[in-house]
Amino acid sequence: MPIPLGVLAQAGAGGGGGGGVATNAYVWLASTILSSNQTNIDFSNLSSSYSGTYQHLQIRAVCRSARSAAEDDLRIRIDGDTSGLYASHFLKNAESSFGGANATQMVYNGMMIANSQTANSFSAFVIDILDPFEATKNTTIKILGGYTANLASTVMLGSGLYRSTSAMSSFRLYNGFGDFAAGSRFSLYGLKGS
Amino acid sequence: MTATYIALANTTVPAGGLATVTFSNIPSTFRDLVYVISGQLENATSTDTILRVNGDSGGNYSRVYSYGSGASVSTASETALNQFLPWYTRNNGSNAIGYVMDYSATDKHKVILARSNNASNEGTSMQTQRWANTAAITSLAFSSSTNEFAQGTTFALYGIVS
């Protein structure tokens, strides 16, 4: 059954402006698309800009490490905090791995494709940051990510914990070994609670 | 406020079943796509659902997957496939969801992060899949050559803006 998309796509595009469509609960907030290699990806002013409107945040990323290697890490640090308040676990392929407890960042080993692998191949991640602005909860995250290429391939479910009840003001994505490659894309979305 | 997560199309399989469901003429105006499938196949033979991009049946697809049945867990990588294999199921309730990332970018191979679940038989799985082509995706065709999609199975496609 072929389903051409023209009519429904036009109907959806007007969704935010009325026409009987429900209020948007999932909203694009910001994006970074790299035109050249870059070490860190920072999203800042989160609490001041978004805490009154959004309950959760989501990162959707398509990225690649510029380092000549098969794969690198994906790391996340919140509010510039380098004390040992982080923990992370992940299920990578069929193996359960431990990113670390009392660590200085959340770390997901070998999750990002690097520059010795197939050209034009990128890793993809969907990262949910739950209740980042709640003052009574530590911040938790969950990740689905992976890539396939010539030297290695991986698929991963991950969890992360930041043991702080402070409202999140910023977070940084980095790989710990080198730059993100040009063409990498990072988008931030907000999910409303009500 | 511009809508971000937009319903592009959906269909429900009618009586008699369907062998193929195709989302065509996908516009390039979104950043990511999401497909959601809920339902079952016509008979009890467990079958991989096939997903082809832009009608490509060449050996340009690869994947890595992990699968847990409740009794065991396994993983494998496959290359030079003639299609994606996003949903392994049979004639009982199950579901599949896939995030088609940067589907309209022309500087990247296309990556799909996929999950599927069949609690009664096949278990749960996660996959990363890659289409080794930098062309923008304009169609997604789901088919099951030996076991049709059963009546009531739903296919939905969403676009995500950024």
Instruction: Quick: pLDDT tens for A53-79.
Output: 999 999 999 999 999 999 999 999 999
Mean local confidence (pLDDT), A138-149: 96
Contact A186, A29 (CB under 8 A): no
Q: Is the pLDDT of residue A1 over 70?
A: no
Q: Would A69 be classed as within a structural domain?
A: yes
Using CB atoms, pick whichever of B3, B112, B132 lies closest to residue A13. Answer: B3
- In whole angstroms, give the CA distance from residue B58 to residue B52: 10
Structural domains counted in chain B: 1
E-only strand ranges, chain B: 5-12, 20-24, 32-39, 47-53, 61-68, 73-81, 84-89, 94-101, 110-118, 123-131, 140-143, 154-160
Partners of residue B107 in chain A, C-beta under 8 Å: 120, 183
Q: CB contact, 8 Å: A70 with chain B? A: no
Whether A149 has a pLDDT exceeding 70, the answer reads yes
Structural domain range at position B11: 5-35+44-160
**A11, part of any domain:** no
Q: What average pLDDT does range B126-155 have in this prediction? A: 94
pLDDT > 90 in chain B, percent: 78
CB contact A6 to B (< 8 Å) = yes
Residue showing tokens 């007007």: A14
The ipTM estimated for the assembled molecules is 0.93
8 Å CB contact between B46 and B122: yes
Q: Which domain holds residue A170?
A: 23-191
Q: Residue B1: what pLDDT? A: 63
Q: What is the spatial distance between Cα B65 and Cα A146, in angstroms, rounded to a whole number?
A: 10
Is the minimum CB–CB distance between B6 and chain A shorter than 8 Å?
yes
- The CB-side HSE value for B52 (13 A sphere, CA atoms) comes to 14
Chain B contact for A185 (CB, 8 A cutoff): yes
Q: Is the CB of A153 inside 8 Å of chain B's CB atoms?
A: yes
A 78-97 near B (Cβ less than 8 A): 91, 93-95
Q: Which residues of B touch A19 (CB under 8 A)?
A: none
When scoring A148, A157, A184, A186 by the number of chain B Cβ atoms within 10 A, the one with the most, hence best to mutate, is: A148
Which of B1, B6, B11 would best serve as a mutation to test chain A binding (most A beta carbons within 10 A)?
A: B6
Q: Is residue A2 part of a domain?
A: no
A3 assigned to some structural domain: no
CATH number, position A85: 2.60.120
Q: Is residue A41 part of a domain?
A: yes
pLDDT confidence of residue B144: 84
Q: Which of residues 102-141 of B touch A (CB under 8 A)?
A: 102, 105, 107-109, 111-113, 115, 126-130, 132, 134
What domain count does chain A have? Answer: 1
User: Which residues of chain A are within 8 Å of residue B15 when distances are taken between CB atoms?
Assistant: none
What does the pLDDT read at residue B3? 82
Asked if B101 and B112 touch (Cβ cutoff 8 Å), the reply is: yes
Quick check: pTM over 0.90? yes
The angle at the Cα of B5, spanning A88 to B85, to the nearest 5 degrees, equals 65
Per-residue buried b or exposed e for A141-164, using 16+ beta carbons within 10 Å of the residue's own CB? bebbbbbbbeebbbbbbbbbbbeb
DSSP run (H or E) holding A154: strand A154-162
Question: Can you read off the two tokens belonging to residue A31?
Answer: 């994006």
Looking at residue B147, its pLDDT comes to 81
